[in-house]
Amino acid sequence: MRILIVEDEKKTGTHLRKGLSEAGFISDLADNGEDGLDAASTIAYELIILDVMLPRRDGLSVSHVCEATGIRRPSSCSPRETRSRIE
């Protein structure tokens, strides 16, 4: 399974990628929304782990563009940032 991680906190992204690798998954890491969107539109990922608060394009925008352009991959957003954006 190939997974895209879109996370601007370098330490968090590195830990996620390391853990996924140890579990046998292949993952790519993008550190901003634009790069994440480019990667998602280029490679067929089975899962996208998407932070909401990102530089250059926020995660919700990335998710909406993916959906609107037919990039339909299961995704997971960081709940902490999602809650704060909703409130």
The answer to whether residues 14 and 36 touch, using CB atoms and an 8 Å cutoff, is: no
Q: What is the pLDDT of residue 49?
A: 92
Q: Look at residues 42, 52, 44 and name the one whose alpha carbon lies nearest to residue 3.
A: 44
Q: What is the pLDDT of residue 86?
A: 42
The answer to whether residues 39 and 3 touch, using CB atoms and an 8 Å cutoff, is: no
What are the residue boundaries of the structural domains of the chain, listed by start?
A: 2-86
CB count within 10 Å of CB 76 equals: 12
Q: What is the pLDDT of residue 31?
A: 97
Summarize pLDDT for 41-66 with one digit per residue, the tens: 999 999 999 998 999 999 889 988 98
Beta pairing partners, 28: 4
Can you list the residues of the chain whose pLDDT is less than 50?
81-87
Contacts of 81 (CB under 8 A, 6+ apart): 51, 52, 53, 59
Q: What is the pLDDT of residue 29?
A: 97
User: Could you tell me the CATH superfamily of domain 2-86?
Assistant: Response regulator (3.40.50.2300)
The answer to whether residues 3 and 46 touch, using CB atoms and an 8 Å cutoff, is: yes
Question: At how many degrees (to 10) do helices 59-68 and 33-42 cross?
Answer: 30
